[in-house]
Structure 1
Amino acid sequence: MTKIIALSILFLVSCATEYPSIPTSSKQSRFPRLSSNDKDDIFVTWFEEIDSTDWSLRGSIFSKNKWSSPMTISSDQPYFINWADFPSLNYIKDDTLVAHWLEKSGAGTYDYDVHLSFSFNEGRSWSSSQIPHSTKVKGEHGFSSFGIGKNTHDLVWLDGREMNMGHSSGHYGKMNLCHTTFTSNGVLGDEFVIDDKVCECCPTASVRYKDTLVVAYRDRTDEEIRDINIARKAGDIWEKPYRVHNDNWKIAGCPVNGPMLAIQKGKIAIAWYTGAKNSARVNVAFSKDIGRTFSEPIRIDLSMPLGRVDLEWINNDEVIVSWIESGDETSNIYARRVNINTRLSKETLVEKIPPGRISGYPQMEVVNNNVLFAWTEINKKTIVASKWLSLSALK
């Protein structure tokens, strides 16, 4: 009987689905970004080398346990390629997708614009790109995040129209946090400035539940306090932004470490990095009222975090959070479960990765009780790397 049970277990293990890696080519590739929909599909973009000077924006869709043939979303453009601010591919409805990327707009180092393109046939062809911001001022426009609704959708970005002399002058202007809407047909709405002074280069995060949009971003006060703020739009009304927690992190420059949001039936989880009081940490907090309020933070790191967080719900009461922790010779991607009642699972080492910024922001999505991780690896050349882990391995 023991042998039969053992053989049965071995049979089940051997029949477990072996999900394939992201289908990049043998050429150089870098900076993957993942998103998902409610059908358990995963959408990925990455940059892929054409030749020594030119790149293309590629994408693929994971559906029914396999990846689609890679699609070319855009090619041979003057891309602004940045380790922390990279393109995305998002599902809208049916066969409609929206992609975004950054293109240089002038001679300045930080002159670049957000570009949007739509596909109405699941990525087989793409519309001409359009710029969602109306300003003609050369400067930074990026760190975009999306809130996908039923008919009208939200786009948030950092807008450098008031940055004046930029990063290299020793004097910063004001970075704005801006918002617009767009329809499923690609028609843009009016712009709105959510906050007229925010941290200059930290990624934003957005989630939407019914007619409520919740945006997380790193604020910047006149005293150089750079904590995480929440801004809510209920219907057509923007509410006053507020801090998730009073970390009181005073830092004179941007740490390039943004928050991440995840939503599950009106419950919202947020993860973020802070270096307040000379103590680096990664926190998670929960909201049970669509972002009106958040719980006290739960510290989840191992004492030497670098941040670059991601976050996904795995059931009604639990999320999985990933982050980078500093090691002796490498940086390490870790993940662990966090319960809404503050219980933590043991941390899991996902992968050892190159130190520094070349690994980008590691990505994570959950599908069919499995977790996909993606990042940039380097071994003579940069490549998009990915790894699947079962949720049962993350306990």
Structure 2
Amino acid sequence: MMTIRQWIISIAIVTAGCNSGDKHEQLLSNATQDASCPFMTTTPDGHTVISWVETAKGADTGTLYYAVSADKGRTFSAPRRVATANGILPHAENMPKMVFKPDGEVIAIYGVEQNDARNKYAGRVYYTRSLNGGETWLPAVPLVTDTGSYDQRYFDIALLPGGEAAAIWLDNRKAVDAEGSSLYFAVTDGRDGFKKERALAETVCQCCRTDLYTDAQGGIHIAFRDIINDSIRDMVHMVSTDGGNAFSKLNRISADNWVVRGCPHTGPAMTKNKQSMHFTWFTMGGGEGVYYCQSTDNGQTYTQKQKVSIAPMAKHPQIATLADDRILLVWDEPVKQPDNTFKSRVGYQWRDGGGKVLQTGVLTTDSTHVTYPVITGVDDGTVLMAYTQRAGDLQQVRCMLVKQ
């Protein structure tokens, strides 16, 4: 029999929008389509939004869909198609994203193939806008119009405290002859789209997602994998406390000293509670796996990294703060099957507000294939998680509520 303490810190998967009480997850995407790239955001009135990409079976590109929950993830609306977000190249590290501005404008941003001879992997970022809360959508436009930019990828978007939206992305334009991309930053100007782009950093790892996060105090945080001394690919962090006019210098959150001449394809994630900033990332420098650290002084110094994952090759971490200040981390990790093949499951770790570990375990079964989880806190004790799950020869986007 469980003790009271064991019961309090145990994980319960809460039924999420299903007809049967013995089910614990909800299918969001069309079961006949290939779906991937889940992303989460919120509306100005606090409703939860999950977006994803759907492609026809065998197709290379797809269209953006999203669904809205008015009851903290227990049920969701029917999927809504973003009619002008098409030709999307599904890539879970370069997933389409949405932001809902308080003036009723909705922005969806996504990546397509560039097909440029200068870089066979080049991409281009577009965005489309709705001025009436998603009822109708304007034609998509490129995020960058400078003809010197032929490769934009690994973007992020966030709502700023004043109601505008900010975007960051990796761009081929740079003034130095060195490997890597530049990190660019732009902010919307009312309903005129993104304006006044500018570069914030150069020699950024060109193949890992970036993270843009705004805290409750108005701080704008950016984290990404940098290329240091031509060969080290470690995570760095910068912050602006004046609305994005100026950013702090780059600070390495952990001196992993990972020397790699390749593409990790796994970026950082961060969140903030009353105590500190919290970070999670994947590295193979000084040990392989998912790690965690925190900063109590808004990015001036960072604690020693702590290993989070148990399984080898755990990747793609995400982190979220609950209303009561607790922290949940999730990631995907390979799991070997009896026939010596591999599937993928989601691991988790609960931490208290100060970063102390409460419990570590797995959220999905070893017999399913689940990748790229994303999470958001919905109340004091519950986190909503969305993920991509293999179903036969297709993929589906599903969600579940996770309660501590």
Q: Give me the TM-score of the superposition, normalised by structure 1.
A: 0.83
1:378 aligns with 2:386: no
Amino acid aligned to 2:227: R
Query: Equivalent residues in 2 for 1:49-198 (5 A)?
Result: 49-50=55-56, 52-53=58-59, 55-64=62-71, 65-74=74-83, 77-93=86-102, 95-108=104-117, 109-137=120-148, 139-149=150-160, 150-161=162-173, 173-198=179-204
- Deviation of 1:202 after TM superposition, in Å, equals 0.5
Q: Secondary structure at the match of 2:363?
A: strand
Amino acid aligned to 1:361: Y
Amino acid aligned to 1:377: Q
Amino acid aligned to 1:285: C
1:19 aligns with 2:17: yes
C-alpha distance in 2 between matches for 1:186 and 1:23: 32
C-alpha distance in 2 between matches for 1:324 and 1:207: 22
Classify 1:61/1:389 alpha carbon distance in 2 versus 1 (closer, same or farther; 3 Å): closer
Amino acid aligned to 1:73: V
Classify 1:18/1:85 alpha carbon distance in 2 versus 1 (closer, same or farther; 3 Å): closer
- Deviation of 1:27 after TM superposition, in Å, equals 2.1
Match of 1:343 among 332, 356, 378: 356
C-alpha distance in 2 between matches for 1:200 and 1:353: 32
CA contact (8 A) 2:15 2:401 kept: no
Classify 1:365/1:317 alpha carbon distance in 2 versus 1 (closer, same or farther; 3 Å): closer
Amino acid aligned to 1:334: G
Amino acid aligned to 1:26: A
1:230 aligns with 2:230: no
* Residue number in structure 1 paired with 2:22: none
Classify 1:82/1:390 alpha carbon distance in 2 versus 1 (closer, same or farther; 3 Å): closer
* Residue number in structure 1 paired with 2:3: none
Is the deviation greater in 116-125 or in 89-98? 89-98
* Residue number in structure 2 paired with 1:319: 327
CA contact (8 A) 1:41 1:367 kept: no
CA contact (8 A) 2:180 2:227 kept: no
Query: Equivalent residues in 2 for 1:207-226 (5 A)?
Result: 207-209=213-215, 210-226=217-233
Amino acid aligned to 1:24: S
Runs of 4+ in 1 over 6 A off after TM superposition: none
CA contact (8 A) 2:123 2:151 kept: yes
C-alpha distance in 2 between matches for 1:207 and 1:267: 14
* Residue number in structure 2 paired with 1:290: 298
* Residue number in structure 1 paired with 2:51: 45
Q: Secondary structure at the match of 2:356?
A: coil
CA contact (8 A) 1:106 1:138 kept: no
CA contact (8 A) 2:179 2:230 kept: no
1:275 aligns with 2:290: no
C-alpha distance in 1 between matches for 2:366 and 2:124: 30
Aligned length: 368
- Deviation of 1:172 after TM superposition, in Å, equals 7.4
CA contact (8 A) 1:60 1:67 kept: yes
C-alpha distance in 2 between matches for 1:119 and 1:84: 25
C-alpha distance in 1 between matches for 2:91 and 2:29: 19
Provide the identity percentage. 17
CA contact (8 A) 2:327 2:355 kept: no
C-alpha distance in 1 between matches for 2:297 and 2:190: 28
The structure whose RCO (Cα within 8 Å, separation 6+) is larger is 2
Q: Secondary structure at the match of 1:102?
A: strand
Classify 1:291/1:39 alpha carbon distance in 2 versus 1 (closer, same or farther; 3 Å): farther
C-alpha distance in 2 between matches for 1:99 and 1:32: 13
- Deviation of 1:370 after TM superposition, in Å, equals 2.8
- Deviation of 1:280 after TM superposition, in Å, equals 0.6
1:302 aligns with 2:307: no
Is the deviation greater in 134-143 or in 152-161? 134-143
Alignment deviations for residues 60-110 of structure 1 (CA, whole Å, 9 cap, x no partner): 111224312211114584332223211112222253321111123335532
Classify 1:195/1:68 alpha carbon distance in 2 versus 1 (closer, same or farther; 3 Å): same
Q: Secondary structure at the match of 1:238?
A: coil
- Deviation of 1:55 after TM superposition, in Å, equals 2.5
